[in-house]
Amino acid sequence: MRRADPVRTVENDRLSVRVYATRHDMGAAAADHAAGHLRAATAGRGRARVVFASAPSQVEFLAALVNAADIDWGRVTAFHLDEYLDLPPRAPQAFGQFLRAHLFDRVRPGTVSLLDGAAADARAEAERYARLLSAAPLDVACVGIGENGHLAFNEPGAADFDDPDQVRIVTIDERSRAQQVHDGCFARVNDVPTRALTLTVPAIMRAAAVTCIVPGPTKREALRRMVRGPVSTECPASVLRSHPAAVVFADVEAAADL
């Protein structure tokens, strides 16, 4: 089936934003983009390494990726961008659980390396995960952005574009915690953890390609700041404008102010 074309494309610096009429079309196009990089990596080197975001904004993309043809998932090593700390083990809100349900249990990658948010020593867990990431470069990072412009849990004003670490323990911004309630993941803000493990900005930027999925009206302000505002840690997602191979896939609601 032929994929829908974008209704328009917006560019600034090195970043291309492809805008689609519906979330379904956006997700299908983003899946084609990410799948192409996975196929190229497995064909060229016999393996691929990819990291995924976990959020309701990624549902259409992940559903389309499950159905993408000719990905040799057995040759794929999969990571995820971030994970709450202080949740009970296997809590349904855990990002690893989300990715298992929406992707990993359905396509069975050869290796799935998850952050352990229930680890007794969070610092040691960050170091363990950083060693796994350092084993070889990422071929593609599949990311979203927060309502406050965060990238993973690299929060406004706290993100470090030159962070020497690959994985860090962070405090979750109040607006990010509120977003988890808006998304239906938690009943109250007080239920949302205040700490997380996250890949840092440099860890994400080292990926050879970035597929960024941004749907919905609640992301409109963040997407505008990301694309039209200054490149600044006040909107961490704006750093993607300096990536050599980052593409944003948005729907018309998210891109209304571009």
| Selected catalytic residue, list 83, 125, 155, 173 | 155
One DSSP character per residue, the chain reads: -PPPPPSEEEEETTEEEEEESSHHHHHHHHHHHHHHHHHHHHHHHS-EEEEE--SGGGHHHHHHHHT-TT--GGGEEEEESEEESSPPTT-TT-HHHHHIIIIIHHH--SEE----TT-S-HHHHHHHHHHHHHTS--SEEEE---TT--BTTB-TTT--TT-S-SEEEEEPPHHHHHHHHHTTS-SSGGGS-SEEEEE-HHHHHTSSEEEEEE-SGGGHHHHHHHHHS-SBTTBGGGGGGG-TTEEEEEETTTTTT-
| Selected catalytic residue, list 148, 154, 243, 251 | 148
102 is catalytic: no
150 is catalytic: yes
CA 85/CA 171 separation, integer angstroms? 10
148 is catalytic: yes
| Selected catalytic residue, list 25, 60, 82, 147 | 82
Helix 23-45 to helix 59-66 angle, to the nearest 10 degrees? Answer: 50
In this structure, which amino acid lies at residue 164?
P
Q: Which residues contact 249 (CB under 8 A, 6 or more apart)?
A: 18, 20, 26, 27, 29, 30, 33, 61, 211, 212, 213, 214
| Selected catalytic residue, list 33, 37, 80, 150 | 150
Cite the active site residues.
82, 148, 150, 155
